[in-house]
């Protein structure tokens, strides 16, 4: 029997006749049946959000309490949420458990930030003619936030949208990814239990081309926060006019293994961070630029470390690499690898597919114009690119249209700081790979990886307006 879920609108659970079937990504069987939103439901969701925002009587302390409570409830219900992620996203259990812990952190951080919302004094009387004036700013919520989230972190990336929006005093309409909507609906249940007033959070499920499109055209929404592919991000930008927009998009993360790297550290790290969740992480290692002098050693150590990876059933507590989100996506990865092979690439390990499972793959003899290097592969495939000259290497890796996060392994401080200044990314990790994130840090990309930062403190800045108040005093 599959589990049933409905839409969450104005504090009520709304059933519709049109159903979305959500598959268990490992077995391919139906895992849940979810009511889909039509035009009427999306309209109601935005209307409720606008009404709730306008009559929102929650103080900053109330918002702190609700968000703190959701954080606690997530910890209490950790197994339920982890299993939900395992089933609908196919994420290996231990990574799903980590996602729940991180989401609890995201809510706790947002709760704390709700208490720190403040403006600042502005010394207007330092301007000639303004001797009798005083001024300060206050942080105001933007109103209704339209949030659209991807499949790969169905809890924590939803948390990164909802929690700061509520902390800032906004109301939210969320459209989760159609492949993984049930975790977001479970989260809405926790908000209900935590006492969030009706309408401040609404969850509408449906495709990007229906629900997503309708949301983009709704003038009652003041700010859009989107995480997903650059392709869809661009469409949203083109459709949302002068509205505020936060875009967290794709990447093809570069990591440099310098001649002065701890090669063993780099190899062990990349064996984990290139393949976890089948590489379906936006900061997963994809391009490894390795100095010629250490390439042989690094390659051997990487292949050795990869023997530790357990591939298979995501329900198994030891699994590192489970299925991709669909067999079609695994086929796409296979096609890209075949295309690279036809053009001279050599497969050092992997390259095989079994249904939605794509085995961890390392390629060498690749060129910069191959899709596996140039585009975002979003699959467990890492390409090795040897270099001799660091400056030329960084120039080449910067040719990528993307710039979310990158990494460099080196014991040389000058090299590390040279890279910090030259690599075009939102965040550079030194002696770590691109795949490092804790939820309090500013997180977001440059170039086609988007703009605007996430991390509760930074999202709250994006999701508020600074209003200036000037007092004209008599003397
Ligand atoms: N930068 C980040 O923080 C970050 C985090 C996670 C994922 N990502 C990126 O997300 C992508 C993978 O996720 P995905 O496959 O779910 O992405 P996607 O772009 O296909 O979908 C993301 C969301 O957009 C919706 N959507 C699709 N078309 C739409 C439209 N026309 N209008 C409005 N909404 C629409 C989808 O239904 C989904 O909810 C990768 O590119 C990955 O790098 C980026
Ligand atoms: O997929 C991209 C996410 O941002 C992953 S994480 O939050 O950095 O783990």
DSSP secondary structure string for all residues of 316-372: STT-SB---S-HHHHHHHHHHHHHHHHTT-EEEE---EETTEE--EEEES--TTSHH
Cα 345 to ligand 2 centre (Å)? 29
Q: Please count the other Cβ atoms lying within 10 Å of the Cβ belonging to residue 97.
A: 19
CA neighbours closer than 13 Å in the CB half-sphere of residue 460 = 26
Q: For residues 430 and 453, state if they share a domain.
A: no
Residue among 153, 376, 407, 458 to mutate when testing ligand 2 (max atoms within 8 A of CB):
153
CA dist 268 and 76 (Å) reads 33
CA dist 330 and 335 (Å) reads 9
Q: Does any ligand 2 atom lie closer than 6 A to the CB of residue 281?
A: yes
Cα 428 to ligand 2 centre (Å)? 15
CA dist 81 and 162 (Å) reads 17
Ligand nearest to the CA of 211: 1
Cα 281 to ligand 2 centre (Å)? 6
Q: Please count the other Cβ atoms lying within 10 Å of the Cβ belonging to residue 39.
A: 11
Q: For residues 240 and 332, state if they share a domain.
A: no
Q: For residues 323 and 235, state if they share a domain.
A: no
- Residue 475: inside a domain, yes or no? no
CA dist 225 and 163 (Å) reads 12
User: In this structure, are residues 434 and 407 in contact, taking their beta carbons and an 8 Å threshold?
Assistant: yes
| Closest by Cα among 341, 388, 343 to 363 | 341
20: domain CATH number?
Answer: 3.40.605.10
From atom 4 of ligand 2, which residue's Cα is the shortest distance away? 282
Q: Does any ligand 1 atom lie closer than 6 A to the CB of residue 42?
A: no
Q: Does any ligand 1 atom lie closer than 6 A to the CB of residue 152?
A: yes
From atom 9 of ligand 2, which residue's Cα is the shortest distance away? 437
- Residue 359: inside a domain, yes or no? yes
| Closest by Cα among 10, 61, 68, 67 to 197 | 10
Residue among 151, 281, 407, 427 to mutate when testing ligand 2 (max atoms within 8 A of CB):
281
Q: For residues 314 and 186, state if they share a domain.
A: no
Q: For residues 338 and 395, state if they share a domain.
A: yes
Q: For residues 459 and 432, state if they share a domain.
A: no
Q: For residues 202 and 326, state if they share a domain.
A: no
From atom 39 of ligand 1, which residue's Cα is the shortest distance away? 177
Q: Does any ligand 2 atom lie closer than 6 A to the CB of residue 278?
A: no
Q: For residues 74 and 192, state if they share a domain.
A: yes
Domain span including residue 297: 253-439
CA dist 267 and 298 (Å) reads 6
CA dist 109 and 70 (Å) reads 12
Catalytic residue annotation: 248, 282
- Residue 444: inside a domain, yes or no? no
Q: Does any ligand 1 atom lie closer than 6 A to the CB of residue 376?
A: yes
Cα 179 to ligand 2 centre (Å)? 17
pLDDT of residue 3: 94
- Rounded to the nearest angstrom, the gap between the alpha carbon of residue 57 and the centroid of all alpha carbons in its chain is 31
CA neighbours closer than 13 Å in the CB half-sphere of residue 193 = 15
266: domain CATH number?
Answer: 3.40.309.10
Q: For residues 300 and 381, state if they share a domain.
A: yes
pLDDT of residue 331: 98
- Check if the interface score ipTM surpasses 0.95: yes
Q: Does any ligand 1 atom lie closer than 6 A to the CB of residue 168?
A: no
Q: For residues 288 and 413, state if they share a domain.
A: yes
Q: For residues 158 and 228, state if they share a domain.
A: yes
Averaged pLDDT in 10-residue chunks for the chain of 475 residues? 94 98 98 98 98 92 98 98 98 98 98 97 97 97 98 98 98 98 98 98 98 96 98 96 96 98 98 98 98 98 98 98 98 98 98 98 98 98 98 98 98 98 98 98 98 97 98 90
Residue ranges of alpha helices (H) inside 274-365 are 292-306, 327-342
Cα 391 to ligand 2 centre (Å)? 29
- Residue 369: inside a domain, yes or no? yes
CA dist 255 and 409 (Å) reads 8
Q: Which residue has the tokens 């879920």?
A: 5
| Closest by Cα among 185, 164, 148 to 458 | 164
Number of separate domains in the chain:
2
Q: For residues 134 and 213, state if they share a domain.
A: yes
| Beta-bridge partner residues of 138 | 467
Q: Which atom of ligand 2 is nearest to the CA of 248?
A: 4
CA dist 268 and 229 (Å) reads 29
From atom 25 of ligand 1, which residue's Cα is the shortest distance away? 208
Q: Does any ligand 2 atom lie closer than 6 A to the CB of residue 276?
A: no
- Residue 474: inside a domain, yes or no? no
Residue 360 sits at φ, ψ, to 5 deg, of: -50, 125
């Amino acid at each position: 029997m599959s589990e049933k879920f409905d839409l969450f609108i104005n504090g009520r659970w709304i059933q519709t006749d049109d159903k979305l079937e959500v598959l268990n990504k490992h077995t391919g069987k139906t895992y849940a049946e979810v009511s889909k939103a039509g035009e009427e439901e999306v309209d109601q969701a935005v209307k409720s959000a606008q009404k709730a925002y306008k009559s929102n009587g929650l103080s900053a302390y109330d918002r702190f309490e609700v968000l703190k409570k959701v954080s606690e409830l997530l910890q209490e219900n950790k197994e339920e949420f982890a299993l939900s992620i395992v089933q609908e996203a196919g994420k290996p259990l231990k990574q799903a458990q980590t996602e729940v812990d991180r989401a609890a952190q995201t809510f706790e951080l947002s709760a704390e930030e709700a208490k720190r919302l403040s403006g600042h004094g502005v010394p207007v009387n330092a301007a000639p003619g303004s001797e009798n004036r005083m001024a300060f700013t206050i942080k105001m919520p933007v109103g209704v936030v339209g949030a659209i989230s991807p499949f790969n972190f169905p809890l924590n990336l939803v948390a990164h949208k909802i929690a700061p929006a509520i902390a800032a005093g906004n109301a939210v309409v969320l459209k989760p990814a159609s492949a993984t909507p049930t975790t977001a609906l479970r989260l809405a249940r926790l908000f209900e239990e935590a006492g969030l007033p009706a309408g401040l959070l609404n969850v509408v499920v449906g495709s990007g081309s229906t629900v997503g499109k309708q949301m983009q055209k709704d003038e009652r929404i003041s700010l859009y926060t989107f995480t997903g592919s650059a392709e869809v991000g661009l469409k949203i930008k083109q459709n949302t006019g002068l509205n505020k927009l936060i875009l967290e998009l794709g990447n093809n993360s570069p990591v440099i293994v310098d001649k002065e790297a701890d090669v063993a550290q780099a190899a062990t790290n990349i064996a984990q961070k290139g393949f976890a969740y089948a590489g379906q992480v936006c900061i997963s290692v994809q391009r490894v630029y390795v100095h010629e002098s250490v390439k042989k050693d690094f390659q051997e150590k990487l292949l050795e470390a990869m023997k530790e990876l357990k591939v298979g059933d995501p329900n198994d507590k030891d699994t590192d690499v489970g299925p991709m989100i669909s067999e079609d996506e695994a086929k796409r990865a296979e096609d890209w690898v075949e295309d690279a092979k036809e053009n001279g690439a050599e497969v050092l390990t992997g390259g095989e597919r079994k249904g939605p499972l794509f085995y961890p793959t390392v390629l060498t003899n690749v060129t910069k114009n191959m899709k596996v290097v140039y585009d975002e592969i979003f699959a467990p495939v890492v390409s090795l690119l040897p270099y001799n000259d660091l400056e030329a290497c960084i120039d080449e890796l910067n040719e990528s249209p993307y710039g979310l996060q990158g990494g460099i392994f080196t014991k040389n401080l000058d090299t590390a700081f040279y890279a910090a200044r030259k690599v075009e990314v939102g965040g550079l990790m030194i002696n770590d790979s691109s795949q490092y994130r804790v939820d309090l840090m500013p997180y977001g990309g440059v170039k086609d990886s988007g703009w605007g930062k996430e991390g509760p403190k930074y999202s709250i800045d994006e999701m508020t307006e600074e209003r200036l108040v000037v007092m004209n005093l008599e003397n």
